[in-house]
Amino acid sequence: MDRLDKFIATHSEASRKGGRVTVNGEVVFDQGKKVSNKDSISVNGLDILDRGEVYIALYKPEDVVCSHLDDVNETVIEMIDGFTHKEMHIAGRLDKDTTGLVLMTSDGGWAHRVTSPKRKCGKVYLLEAADPIDEEYVKVFERGLLLRNEEKPTLPAKLELLGEFEARLTLTEGKYHQIKRMFGAMGNKVVKLHRESVGGIGLRDLEPGEFYELDEDEIGLF
Ligand code: URA
């Protein structure tokens, strides 16, 4: 919930001063009235709530699930409550125990372009493994490997060794549990996984659980 004057200032070009403001069809004079995205607000007869499509970058914390509904766990959609007046698409899901960047949008075409392997958009992950990682992994991931129950090998992926157990991995696709399965195929186990960026979009200075709306340049990347 926000003050009406603040809400109008942040969500539209319109100035409240001198304008006739209605909230859910009723004229309102109290600038301090508490409103949210779920209210229908207009200034001088113009609806300011329809801001077009919504594009959001969320820092997903651990134990939050990338789905719309879940009986047990908090969902990424619940974390952006207030921006969910439109149906949202999750553009590339993370596992419950993976942290980091999740993009969400009301724009179905944009979400599709982000996740399509044809676009070769780099998704960058930081990971920690249970056992040491070496140059052999770099070669195998660069070549691509056939995971169980898949018809095609993984697309070339770039692995950068950061320490004995840590690495940065860039994928251009997103098969189910892909990184955990890639390490499983090498006889290793991923114990920590974090997504730093998708395409040119990063986490800026978000803390876990926080989100921001993408700017025009970021939206234009896809
Ligand atoms: N690969 C995984 O195994 N899990 C994720 O959450 C993302 C990529």
217 Cα to the center of ligand 1, angstroms: 27
pLDDT digits (tens, 9 = 90+) for 9-37: 877 766 656 678 988 788 999 989 998 77
Active centre residues (catalytic) = 95
99 Cα to the center of ligand 1, angstroms: 10
pLDDT confidence bin for 81, thresholds 50/70/90: confident
Q: For residue 174, which atom of ligand 1 is closest to its CA?
A: 8
pTM for the structure as a whole: 0.79
Would the CB of 98 count as within 6 Å of ligand 1? yes
User: Is 111 buried (19+), middle (13-18) or exposed (0-12) by CB count in 10 A?
Assistant: buried
Q: For residue 180, which atom of ligand 1 is closest to its CA?
A: 3
pLDDT digits (tens, 9 = 90+) for 171-185: 999 999 999 999 999
Residues 6+ apart with CB under 8 A from 217: none
The Cα–Cα gap between 51 and 70 comes to 28
> What SS3 state is found at 205?
coil
pLDDT digits (tens, 9 = 90+) for 100-151: 999 999 899 999 999 998 998 999 999 999 999 999 999 999 999 999 999 9
User: Is 120 buried (19+), middle (13-18) or exposed (0-12) by CB count in 10 A?
Assistant: exposed
9 Cα to the center of ligand 1, angstroms: 39
